[in-house]
Amino acid sequence: MISSRAVSGVLLGLGGLAGTLLDGVPPRPPLYRGGLQVLAADFHVHSFSADGALPPWELVLEARRRGLDAFAITNHAQVWAAKLGRWFSRRIGGPTVLVGEEITSWDYHLIAVGIEASVPWNQPATEAIEEVHRQGGVAIAAHPVAISWPAFEEAIDTLDGSEVLHPLVHVSPGGRPGLSAFYERGRSRGRPFAAVGSSDYHFGAGLGASRTYVFVRENRPASILESLRAGRTVVFDEEGVAHGDPALAALLESDPLPAESRPDRATVPSRAAGICGWLGLAGLVLLRSTRSRRGVASSAVR
């Protein structure tokens, strides 16, 4: 009989394989609108050896295959894997890799992009943002659903932007309204506030499935960070509705990007691959915890 563990393993493998085979984007020349280059970017990506399945060099290849011009590797509490990805991508002429981190506190998650050293998580959001800025980086509120709003109450005035699109909007009833409301609050403060769409990629389908279009002078880290600070971004949700800078969104609506550079409208097969991968991983984790509980029980009997 086939064990549940084997089924979970097969599902995880299928999800990863299908996710890798689907939604590839052919190489394309740089895109310009309004005198600026439009980059497809994903600023929230995890890699092996943290909680992502792919090592940094595989992420670089996968990002290139998915038509990303730039992405940030944002592991929890470490930046060395991101630096490895940056080094590798420079060697092969791949997408621009920004060094980042997901600062993971008890009551908030914060994406730091453009830093060089890990930022301590056990501090208020305002102080973490201050440290990100001191290093020359930008600070983006990660999946800010209502539960994390109190932690960002003061910090919202120093944040550079927030995730307005994230896979959470597909699985949590409070996801979409929470992220939209937080972004509108940030935008209403009278200073630039970047709309960001992230995949929070861990494995399987979806690297760059939610993405940010950044309008830059050139595809280099300093220029990307400058544009994020200035709020020069547009994010399309899966209905095709644009969020972000209204003038830039109007530019993309009047002169749309070519369809082949828009894999952010997830296809049914790629969503199925993602679900397959998640189910497989959940099965393996659950079975592992069941086995370890049994192991504790049997050693207690002995």
Cα 140 to Cα 102: distance, rounded to the nearest angstrom: 10
Q: How far is CA 101 from the centre of its chain?
A: 11
* Closest distance of CB 51 from Zn ion, Å: 8
* Closest distance of CB 116 from Zn ion, Å: 20
Nearer to Zn ion, 8 or 75 (CB): 75
E strand or H helix at 141, and its extent?
strand 138-141
Q: Is 200 in the site for Zn ion (CB under 5 A)?
A: yes
Cis? peptide before 210, omega within 30° of 0: no
DSSP label of 201: B
Task: State the residue number with the nearest CB to Zn ion.
Answer: 109
Site for Zn ion in 138-167 (CB under 5 A): 142
Site for Zn ion in 234-273 (CB under 5 A): none
Nearer to Zn ion, 174 or 295 (CB): 174
Cα 191 to Cα 266: distance, rounded to the nearest angstrom: 32
The residues that bridge with 100 in the sheet, in sequence order, are 113
Number of residues that bind Zn ion (CB under 5 A): 4
Site for Zn ion in 68-107 (CB under 5 A): 102
* Closest distance of CB 36 from Zn ion, Å: 28
* Closest distance of CB 124 from Zn ion, Å: 17
Contact between 224 and 98 under an 8 Å Cβ cutoff? The reply is yes
Q: Which of 109, 187, 232, 243 binds Zn ion (CB under 5 A)?
A: 109
Contact between 69 and 96 under an 8 Å Cβ cutoff? The reply is yes
Nearer to Zn ion, 101 or 200 (CB): 200
* Closest distance of CB 151 from Zn ion, Å: 13
* Closest distance of CB 44 from Zn ion, Å: 6
Nearer to Zn ion, 62 or 102 (CB): 102
Straight-line distance from the first to the last Cα atom of the chain, in angstroms, rounded to the nearest whole number: 29
Interface with Zn ion by CB under 5 A: which range of 108-116, 121-129, 181-189, 223-231?
Answer: 108-116
Nearer to Zn ion, 57 or 121 (CB): 121
Cα three-residue angle 50-53-58, rounded to 5 degrees: 105
Cα 207 to Cα 23: distance, rounded to the nearest angstrom: 10
Q: Which two tokens stand for residue 270?
A: 């790629």
Token pair 């993405």 in the structure block, residue:
211
Nearer to Zn ion, 143 or 232 (CB): 143
- Which residues are within 8 A (CB) of 199 and not within 5 positions of it... i.e. 6 or more apart? 42, 44, 45, 166, 167, 206, 207, 208, 209, 210, 211
Nearer to Zn ion, 62 or 200 (CB): 200
Nearer to Zn ion, 72 or 216 (CB): 72
* Closest distance of CB 295 from Zn ion, Å: 30
Nearest one of 94, 111, 104, 138 to 198, comparing CA atoms: 111
* Closest distance of CB 254 from Zn ion, Å: 34
Residues that bind Zn ion (CB under 5 A): 102, 109, 142, 200
